[in-house]
Amino acid sequence: NAGVMQNPRHLVRRRGQEARLRCSPMKGHSHVYWYRQLPEEGLKFMVYLQKENIIDESGMPKERFSAEFPKEGPSILRIQQVVRGDSAAYFCASSPRGSDYEQYFGPGTRLTVT
């Protein structure tokens, strides 16, 4: 039973480019969460999605960041016009239900902006 999958594991982008991070939840899980971890920090919630719906995006920066979880395919976190401050580890988690199940995390994508 495959766990949460994220790709790429490492992504290098120059300032101003776009970054696309992908997340495939565990089989049978329909809830996806994105978190960001800056150096020396804990994980910070960004967005919570169900298939074709954004449930809570209160942790997303207002500009340049967007997320989707289409009916078919992985969830995508998109960062436009990246800046150095976007360099971080981005983790995706999934759960079978919204609020009262543990979230299972993927290995993360480490984004480096040069």
Partner 1 sequence: DQQVKQNSPSLSVQEGRISILNCDYTNSMFDYFLWYKKYPAEGPTFLISISSIKDKNEDGRFTVFLNKSAKHLSLHIVPSQPGDSAVYFCAANRGSTLGRLYFGRGTQLTVWP
Helix (H) or strand (E) holding 83: none
73 binds partner 1 (CB under 8 A): no
Position among 20, 54, 64, 105 found at the interface with partner 1 (CB under 8 A): 105
Tokens describing residue 112: 């480096």
Nearest to 9 by CA among 86, 84, 81, 112: 112
Bridge partners (DSSP) listed for residue 42:
none
Q: How far apart are the first and last CA of the chain?
A: 37
41 binds partner 1 (CB under 8 A): yes
Position among 2, 39, 84, 100 found at the interface with partner 1 (CB under 8 A): 100
54 binds partner 1 (CB under 8 A): no
Nearest to 106 by CA among 10, 13, 15, 26: 26
Choices 11-19, 63-71, 73-81, 92-100 (CB under 8 A): range interacting with partner 1:
92-100
74 binds partner 1 (CB under 8 A): no
Query: What are the backbone angles phi and psi of residue 67, rounded to the nearest 5°?
Result: -145, 150
Q: Which residues bind partner 1 (CB under 8 A)?
A: 4, 6, 31, 33, 35, 40-45, 48, 55-56, 58-59, 91, 93, 95, 98-100, 102-108
